């Protein structure tokens, strides 16, 4: 075989990598390097195209999200929301008051619905500020919030581990 001055072998004439014609004395390394560079360029183009597609999808999602006309407004779960209102509803489920913290104005009407299978009460912890009496499963009771602003802890007198707070403003 022929050698160049720097010691590389020269490929004889015939077929080279992937069927390309190689002239006598052509450096085979250059041919492979050319294919490798071609693959790198192809990957770069694919990555750019992919990046553009992802960017377009993000923009589309942002537009759709901003112009959504959903019939149901999104709101936080009832157990974490606390709003001062003139009337309120407290649900009893799984031996818990929901919400556990109720904010109302003085004299507001509060309806308590028992969605459990056992009877419950909603009773002020101190004094006799309010008490629903026993509420059977599937029933409701309504009471009036105290007229004096303040924080009123409450519990279920049948199941004392059930607790909450009524905040009157």
Q: Which residues pair with 114 in a beta bridge?
A: 92
Backbone angles phi, psi at 25, to 5 degrees: 85, 0
Instruction: Name the residue among 103, 145, 147, 105 with its Cα closest to residue 122.
Output: 145
**What per-residue confidence (pLDDT) applies to 22?**
52
Q: How many CB atoms lie within 10 A of CB 57?
A: 10
Burial classification of residue 167, based on how many CB atoms lie within 10 Å of its CB (0-12 exposed, 13-18 middle, 19 or more buried): middle
**What per-residue confidence (pLDDT) applies to 142?**
97
Do 140 and 111 form a contact (C-beta atoms < 8 A)? yes
Whole-angstrom Cα distance, residue 49 to residue 27? 34
**What per-residue confidence (pLDDT) applies to 31?**
54
Instruction: Name the residue among 72, 73, 108, 111 with its Cα closest to residue 92.
Output: 111
Backbone angles phi, psi at 9, to 5 degrees: -85, 150
Residue by residue, pLDDT tens for the chain (169 residues) are: 455 555 555 555 555 555 555 555 555 455 555 655 665 666 666 666 566 666 666 565 666 555 545 454 454 455 444 555 688 999 999 999 999 999 999 999 999 999 999 999 999 998 889 999 999 999 999 999 999 999 999 999 999 999 999 999 9
**What per-residue confidence (pLDDT) applies to 168?**
95
Do 120 and 155 form a contact (C-beta atoms < 8 A)? no
């Amino acid at each position: 075989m022929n050698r160049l001055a720097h010691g590389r072998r020269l490929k004889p004439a015939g077929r080279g990598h992937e069927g390309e014609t190689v002239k006598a004395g052509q450096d085979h390394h250059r041919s492979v390097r050319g294919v490798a560079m071609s693959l790198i360029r192809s990957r770069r183009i694919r990555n750019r195209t992919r990046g553009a597609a992802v960017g377009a999808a993000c923009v589309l999602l942002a537009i759709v999200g901003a112009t959504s006309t959903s019939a149901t407004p999104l709101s936080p779960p009832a157990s974490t929301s606390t709003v001062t209102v003139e009337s309120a509803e407290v649900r009893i489920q799984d031996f818990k008051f929901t919400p556990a913290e109720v904010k109302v104005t003085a004299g507001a009407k509060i309806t308590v619905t028992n969605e459990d299978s056992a009877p419950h009460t909603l009773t002020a912890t101190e004094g006799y500020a309010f008490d629903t009496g026993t509420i059977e499963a599937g029933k409701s009771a309504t009471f009036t919030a105290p007229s004096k602003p303040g924080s009123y802890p409450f519990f279920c007198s049948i199941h004392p581990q059930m607790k909450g707070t009524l905040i009157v403003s």
